[in-house]
Amino acid sequence: MTDRNASSAVPNGQREGGPRFRFAPSPTGFFHVGGARTALMNWALARRLGGTFVLRIEDTDEARNKPEWTQGIIDALAWIGIAADDEHFEGPHFQSAHAEAHVAAAHRLYEQGDAYYCDLSGQDVQDRAAELGITGYDGYSRDRGLGPAPGRVLRFRVPEGTTVVDDLVRGAVSFENSTIEDFVLLRGNGAPVFLLANVVDDIEMAITHVVRAEEHLPNTPKQQMLWRALGHEPPAWAHVPVLVNEQRKKLSKRRDKVALEQYRDEGYLAEAMVNYLMTLGWTPPGAEEAGSEIAGWPEIEAAFALEDVNLSPAFFDVKKLTAFNKQYIKNMPPDEFVAAASVELPADWDRARFAEIAPHIQERLETLKDVPATVDFLFWPAGADAEPVDYDEASWDKATKPEWSGAFLADVIGAYEALGEHPWDAATLKATMEDLMGRYEIKLGKAQALPRVAVTGRAVGPPLFESFEVLGRDETLRRLHVAADRLGSSAQPTGAGG
């Protein structure tokens, strides 16, 4: 069955203008990461092959779909680089606008004898199946010659034989037509179902390549029969594996975090998301030699091929996504990073001050959301009447544990104050502290512990001396004194001294 000889070259029915791909989401409220992945694949192919990416909103389920969902889809696509104003982009088209064509096609099928009406209700079908010991519809009305009437559904007359689906990623997949029931085309109320609408629209829009998730594979033989019955050669099909969760179940919005928007809001970069999504089932060329799977869109677009897509479901691993995100943040141009990170900052935080510390935190972040907590100490109220530093007590305890800590802190304060008019810069601050270390026979790693907790409240953070420099002489010394006082008073009982 793995006859993967179908080429990615345009198959039959190509019209001028190159191959036509399509992405046909239904507007259900948010954009699924799995949808993003298939959209990206279609986009890569459409652009490289000089074709078109058609966006079609499948909004035929009136029960749930609002105009804003459509805008949400367009925004989400734009976020991952699929721009509506790109020359390869077409749409959005709305399926609901073609309802008449769908119905007309159904009638044509009926006229041709490829479809017939049936007056059984869903319950009737179930009852008969139970009685006959079979599943699904048994073809009860096939030869009853019923005409259209309210309440009657129109069913496709599945022919005998075998239907072979030529899939670009899986090869030839064959289905025994006898296992496919006469499926519904028009509901009892006359409304067309997805299977039909989808095919009619694809034909109408001259789609040459249908690239979608594996869950649609079982629908494909039915759609292929429809294409033929409607007088057209089917398009090239390609079913890529689904994305699964840690339980290996298809990602679902009910139990899994699948909204693209959510990742965006949580500080993930579009480029990282795009790159990661494309590594699910596929590897950018040269990744092995480079020792990295990080690849920009141009590279991906130039190399992506359906034939190279892996066949098994892939686990959407947020940990790996996060690792990619960290890489991308680290590699951002500095000014771009400042701009992106600033969005996460409270309005009253001084942007200029943030820009000073930015280079020192850029390689320490997993997401943009981590920015505020990393630099917050620079924006705490300053001055004599400011609130006391909110120390992380565990860090404080550990930093004040060494018996020399209090004396060392006092020395640091003394030395820093002795700097007088000397520039308050990181290099000076570091050298000054290092001069003191000899007396205590400690290394910088230990020496900086208490000063760090004193000024930032925590045991970890951006490089210390740079932080002191950005914070400024007055506030740094003030916090150092506050800590010394706190240490002094707590040490009082045992009369600890220098």
Partner RNA sequence: GCCCCCAUCGUCUAGUGGCCUAGGACACCACCCUUUCAAGGUGGCGGCACGGGUUCGAAUCCCGUUGGGGGUGCCA
- Residue 425 touching RNA (CB under 7 A): no
Check if the beta carbon of residue 246 is closer than 8 Å to that of residue 255: no
- Residue 234 touching RNA (CB under 7 A): no
The counts of H helices and E strands in the chain are: 21, 12
Q: What type of residue is 261? A: E
The pair of three-digit structure tokens given for residue 222, joined into one six-digit string:
């039915």
Total chain residues near RNA (CB under 7 A): 87
Degrees to nearest 5, angle at CA 332 with 327 and 336: 145
Of residues 16, 100, 189, 385, which one binds RNA by CB under 7 A? 189
Buried/exposed 286-317: b ≥16 CB within 10 Å, e otherwise: eeeeeeebbbebebbbebbebeebeeebbebe
Nearest to RNA of 179, 494 (CB atom): 179
Nearest to RNA of 134, 485 (CB atom): 134
Which has the closest alpha carbon to 328: 301, 291, 358, 366?
A: 366
CA distances from 498 to 324, 409, 434, 449, 486 (A): 49, 10, 19, 18, 15
For residues 267 to 306, the per-residue mask of contacts with RNA, x marking binding by CB under 7 A and - elsewhere, is ------------xxxxx---xx--xxx-------------
- Residue 195 touching RNA (CB under 7 A): yes
- Residue 132 touching RNA (CB under 7 A): no
Subset of 377-406 contacting RNA (CB under 7 A):
none
User: For 409, how many CA atoms within 13 A lie in the half-sphere containing its CB?
Assistant: 29
How far apart are CB 343 and RNA at their closest, in Å?
Answer: 21
- Residue 153 touching RNA (CB under 7 A): yes
Nearest to RNA of 339, 426 (CB atom): 426
Nearest to RNA of 472, 488 (CB atom): 472
Check if the beta carbon of residue 79 is closer than 8 Å to that of residue 260: yes
Nearest to RNA of 51, 185 (CB atom): 185
The pair of three-digit structure tokens given for residue 442, joined into one six-digit string:
């400690």
- Residue 93 touching RNA (CB under 7 A): no
Dist CA 169 CA 310 (whole Å): 8
For residues 444 to 483, the per-residue mask of contacts with RNA, x marking binding by CB under 7 A and - elsewhere, is xx--xx--x------xxxxxxxx-----------------
Which has the closest alpha carbon to 410: 436, 435, 430?
A: 436
Known catalytic membership, residue 253? yes
- Residue 254 touching RNA (CB under 7 A): no
- Residue 436 touching RNA (CB under 7 A): no
Annotated catalytic residue within 66, 249, 253, 443: 253
- Residue 238 touching RNA (CB under 7 A): no
Subset of 40-59 contacting RNA (CB under 7 A):
58
Catalytic residues: 253
